[in-house]
Structure 1
C-alpha cells in the first residue's frame, strides 16, 4: 500500500469514527432527555414551579413567557415594582397581565401560570419575601420548586480606563453577589424537590469594552462549579447556560412594546419597534395571546436547549445556547448539549 492510499484510508477512518461518535452523543442526549418529564408524554411543565429572578430584561421576560406556555407555574421577578410592593405599569407587567388574561379564556387548556412578584436580587428582604409569596401560591401540600433561573444582570460597555468604578460595583453586586444571595435564599425550596439552580455563565468569546461584565460571568461560572459540588449531597443540581451570539446590552435590555405606525405615503399601517435594527429572521416565539414586544433574544434552537436543561432528569452541567447557525453542523449541535 503506497503512502497516498494509506493517507486516504486514514482520512476515511477518521470520518467514520466521527460519525459514529456523533451518533453515540445523540443517543446519550436522548437518554438524558428521556429521563425528564417529557418522557411520559404529559405536558412538559406539568405545573412545576419555576422562579425567573428578573423579567425586567428581555431574556428574563422571554424565558418566563416561554416556560409558562410550556406548562410551568412561573414566578417572574419584577424589580420595577419592588419598591412599592404593588403591580406597576412597566412593559413586563403589561405583558404578564395580557398572558394571564389570555390564559383565563383557555378554560383549562393551559396548565401553565405566570405570577409576577416584587424581587430584587440585591435586597435580602425582598428575596425572603419572595419565598413567602411563592409558598402562598403553591398548591396545597407542596413546598418546593423545580428550578430557579438567575436572569438578573447588568452590563456597561466602555474602556476600562474610562469607566466609572461605580459601574463595576453595580455589575458585581447584581451579577455575582445576587446569584449567591439567590442560591442561599432558595436552597430550602429547591432541596425539597431535588430541584435545579440555573445560572448564565461565560460568553463564547470575550469582547473589548466588556471587561467588568466578562469578569462577572467568569465569577458566576466558577461559583456554579463550586456550588454544584457543595449542593450535590442535597440533590440540588446546578446548571450553567452559556450564551453566544447575543450582546449583553440586548440580553439585559428592557423590553419595549411594538407600536403601530401610519405611513401616509403608502396609506398603510406598519408595526414597528425600537429594536427593529436588532431583529433577526431566525427569531420566532409564540407568546400565545400576549401583546407583542421586543427584543426576543433567544432563538427557537436556544429555547429547545433551555427546555432540555429544565426538563432533563439528569441535566448536563453546562449547556450552550448557541445561535441557529451552530446547529447546521451536527457535531456542534451535540457539543452544545453535552459539554
Structure 2
C-alpha cells in the first residue's frame, strides 16, 4: 500500500500539473482573444508599400502621412492646392512635407511622400492622380496597397442656424467624396488586393453636429456595402472610429509652432517642422498600423484620443 507521505507528494504533483495546464490554457485563450480584437497577428511589412491619403490639408491626414512615411511607406499625400508638378504647395501642410522631404534626403531614409494635387469633390483631379501615382510606381507594378479617406469638413451649430449650402458641401466631401475615391482607385487596389480605410462616427461630439453625424453614419453604411461589393475583388474595406476626438480637431488646418522669442518655426528631432494640433495618440497610430498591415484586419477599429476634453476645447479656440 502507498504510505501517507507518498500520497501527499503525488497529490501535490497532480495539483502542480493541473495548475500548469490551466495557465497554458488561459494564455492560449488570451492570445486568441487578442488576435480576434486586433485582426490577425501576422502583419505585412510596410516598407515601400504605396498608400494614398486623400487629404493631408487637415491635422489627421498630415499626422498620418508623416507617420507612415517615417515607417517606410511611399505616401501619396493629397493637397487641395498642391502643384500639378508634384511639389508641395505653400500651405502649412505643404511646408511640413517639404521640410520632411529635405531631411529624408539628407539621411537617405526609405520612406517617401509624393504630394498629389487632389480634391475628392473633383473627378478631374481624382483621375489625374491615378496617372501621377502610376508614374511613381516601380517598373512592373500597377497597384497601391491602401487608400485612407481622411477628407472631411464639419460645421457646428443648431440645425435652424446652419446654411443649407454648408450641408451640401459637407455631404459632398464627407460621403460622396468617399464613393468617388473608392470608384477611382478600385482598379489600382484590385491589382494589389489592397484596402480602403474610411473614417466613421465619433462619440462625444457635443451638440450642433447633426449634418456631420449624418455624413459619418452614411460613411459607415457605405463602407459596409462596399465591403460586400469589393470582397470578390480582394479589396478590404475598414472603418476607423475616433473615440472622444472633436471633429473640429480632426479636420482643422494645422498651424506651425513658433518660438515666442524669435518667431522662428520650431523643428523636431526628425527634421520635420513642428505643427499643431497632432490629434492622434501613439496608441491610435499603432491601431492604424494594424489596420493597414494586418493580413486579416477587422472591419472596424477604434482610435483613442490624444488630449483630454478640456485640452481639445482650448485647441479648438486657437484654430
Secondary structure at the aligned position of 1:120 is classed as coil
* Cα distance, 1:209–1:30 mapped onto 2, change above 3 Å: closer
- Root-mean-square deviation (CA), in Å? 2.6
Aligned to 1:204: 203
Query: In 2, are the aligned partners of 1:45 and 1:112 still within 8 Å (CA)?
Result: no
Residue correspondence of structure 1 range 226-305 to structure 2 within 5 A: 226-262=225-261, 288-305=270-287
- Encode CA deviations 1:209-261: one digit per residue, 9 max, x unaligned: 00000000000000000000000000000000000121111111101101111
Q: Deviations over 1:30-73 (max 9, x none)?
A: 77121x22xxxxxx422000000000000000001100001100
- Post-superposition offset of 1:208: 1.3
Unmatched 5+ residue regions in structure 1? 1-16, 38-43, 263-268, 274-285, 327-339
Counterpart in the other structure of 2:75? 74
Q: Helix, strand or coil for the counterpart of 1:288?
A: coil
Q: What's 1:134 paired with?
A: 133
Match of 2:41 among 8, 18, 33: 33
> Any conservation in 2 of the 1:66–1:287 contact (CA below 8 Å)?
no
Structure 2 CA distance for partners of 1:299 and 1:142, relative to 1, 3 Å: same
Equivalences, count? 283
2:294 aligned with 1:312: yes
Structure 2 residue aligned with 1:112: 111
Give the aligned partner of residue 17 of structure 2.
none
Task: Specify the SS of the correspondent of 2:238.
Answer: strand
Give the corresponding residue for 1:24.
32
Instruction: Give the superposition deviation at 1:315.
Output: 0.7
Q: Which residue of 1 aligns with 2:173?
A: 174
Q: Secondary structure at the match of 2:260?
A: strand
CA offset at residue 271 of structure 1?
Answer: 8.6
Q: Specify whether residues 271 and 121 from structure 1 end up closer, same or farther in structure 2 by C-alpha distance, changes over 3 A only.
A: same
Alignment pair present for 1:98 and 2:99: yes
What's 1:145 paired with?
A: 144
| Whole-angstrom distance in 2 between the partners of 1:20 and 1:160 | 51
Displacement of 1:202: 1.0
Query: Given the superposition, is the C-alpha separation of residues 115 and 65 from structure 1 closer, same or farther in structure 2, using an over 3 Å criterion?
Result: same
Partner Cα separation in structure 2 for residue 83 and residue 136 of structure 1: 13
1:89 paired residue number: 90
Q: Tell me, yes or no, if the aligned pair for 1:82 and 1:120 is still in contact at 8 Å.
A: no
Mapped to 2, the partners of 1:238 and 1:159 lie a distance apart of 33
Deviation at 1:204, TM superposition (A): 2.5
* Superposed displacement of residue 117, structure 1: 1.1
Deviations 1:157-197, CA, capped at 9 Å, x for gaps: 00001111111001000000000000000000000000000
User: What is the SS of the residue equivalent to 1:304?
Assistant: helix
TM value normalised by structure 1: 0.78
Q: For each residue in 1:58-117, what CA deviation from the matched residue of structure 2 results, as whole angstroms up to 9, or x when unmatched?
A: 00000011000011000000002369986421111111111110111113xx22110101
| Unaligned ranges ≥5, structure 2 | 1-24, 309-319
Q: Is 96-105 or 25-34 further displaced after alignment?
A: 25-34
- Residues 284-309 of structure 1 deviation map (CA, whole Å, 9 limit, x = unaligned): xx772111111100000100000000
Indicate conservation of the 8 Å contact 1:46/1:111, yes or no.
yes
Asked if residue 216 in structure 1 is aligned to residue 215 in structure 2, the reply is yes
Compute the displacement of 1:19 (Å).
Answer: 9.6
Sort the Cα spacing of 1:306 and 1:114 in 2 relative to 1 into closer, same or farther, 3 A. Answer: same
Paired residue for 1:279?
none
Given that 1:65 and 1:287 are in contact with CA atoms closer than 8 Å, whether structure 2 keeps it comes out as no
Residue 54 (structure 1) aligns with: 55
Q: Aligned partners of 2:189 and 2:130: how far apart in 1?
A: 11
Structure 1: distance between partners of 2:269 and 2:206? 32
Instruction: Give the Cα separation in 1 of the matches to 2:167 and 2:156.
Output: 11
Separation in 1 of the partners of 2:39 and 2:303? 20
- In 2: Cα distance, 1:47 partner to 1:20 partner: 34
Higher Rg: 2
